[in-house]
Amino acid sequence: MSVDQIGGTAGRVADVARWAHQWQPRTGAPPRGTLAVIPGRGERGGVYRRLGERLAADGYVVRAVDGLSEAHDLDAELLSALDGPGPVVLLGSDTGALWALALADRLRAHGVPLAGVVAAGVPARGDGLLIEVSWAAELDARTACPTHRGRLNDDLTLRRGEVLDPDVAAPAWAALDAAGATTDVPVLFVHGRADLLSPVEPVAALTRRLPRARLVTVAGGRHDVLNDVQHRSVAAQVVTFLERLRLGADLPEIIRVEEGSSW
């Protein structure tokens, strides 16, 4: 999907009546916000079930699309995923993170009250650090979490090898370049410090380019940082970001470590 395909699709949102990947807060609880999840290379939305269930338990509506690409028009599905109580947030992993950043301002221009973006595991521009191309190497680069490794190993919808191919990420980078990488919505970058597919330094540079961005890194975290061993701590960072958005666009602090604390 190109950024130009967003326009003129609002009337088709009603056509997307059902979600294959949706997680809701418990019955009777008023939703605290809405997240649309954009997966990365090779993935489909169901791989984020654990994250979706956790965020739903904290009161958020979570809907995952099955990916964005230059050739696959999912604009109506994405708009539908974002149709819900605020704050409304895009959460993307790998190339999904690039699409989220590229589309943020265009979505707002077309009436989506987008409050923020979570960008996890932003892919390298060009070749990453991984040399060997094999399923074993991909699995190791993606995650050290036994549960997530098992899910990926058994996932017949996963397009193996795509996450190792920088050419697959090129359209998403082109979309971000065309958008100018200048969105002023608050952005939370999350990146694993042990990411073999994408070093953290370029992500830090991208963070500095944006007017309202924060980068948090995960010690030992690999490329699928939302689904890695530290997924609970990462989800807590996402929830803290969402809760701060609920307080206002200036993201007032909720938790503060006071001076004199000993740890």
Per-residue pLDDT, 128: 62
Burial of residue 153, with CB atoms counted within 10 A of its CB: 0-12 exposed, 13-18 middle, 19 or more buried: exposed
Q: Name the one residue in this structure whose structure tokens are 């605290």.
A: 32
Please tell me the distance from the alpha carbon of residue 54 to that of residue 189, in angstroms, as a whole number.
Answer: 19
Q: Give me the amino acid identity at 188.
A: L
Task: Please provide the CATH number assigned to the domain covering 3-247.
Answer: 3.40.50.1820
Please tell me the distance from the alpha carbon of residue 171 to that of residue 247, in angstroms, as a whole number.
Answer: 35
The three-state secondary structure class of 91 is strand
- Other C-beta atoms within 10 Å of 16: how many? 17
Q: Helix (H) and strand (E) counts for the chain?
A: 8, 7
In tens digits, the chain (263 residues) has pLDDT values of 333 333 333 333 333 345 679 999 988 889 999 999 999 999 999 999 999 999 999 999 999 998 665 544 446 788 889 999 999 999 999 999 999 999 999 899 888 999 999 999 999 998 666 667 899 999 999 999 999 999 999 999 999 999 999 999 999 999 999 998 889 999 999 999 999 999 999 999 999 999 999 999 999 999 999 999 999 999 999 999 999 999 998 899 999 889 999 98
Q: Give me the amino acid identity at 107.
A: L
Q: 247: part of which helix (H) or strand (E)?
A: helix 231-247
206, 134 contact by CB (below 8 A)? no
Per-residue pLDDT, 135: 94
Please tell me the distance from the alpha carbon of residue 246 to that of residue 261, in angstroms, as a whole number.
Answer: 28
Task: Residue 155: name the closest of 224, 88, 108 by CA.
Answer: 224
The three-state secondary structure class of 136 is helix
HSE-CB at 256 with a 13 A cutoff on CA atoms is: 6
- Other C-beta atoms within 10 Å of 100: how many? 32
Per-residue pLDDT, 213: 96
Q: Where are the beta strands (DSSP E) in the chain?
A: 22-23, 33-38, 60-64, 88-93, 114-120, 187-192, 213-218
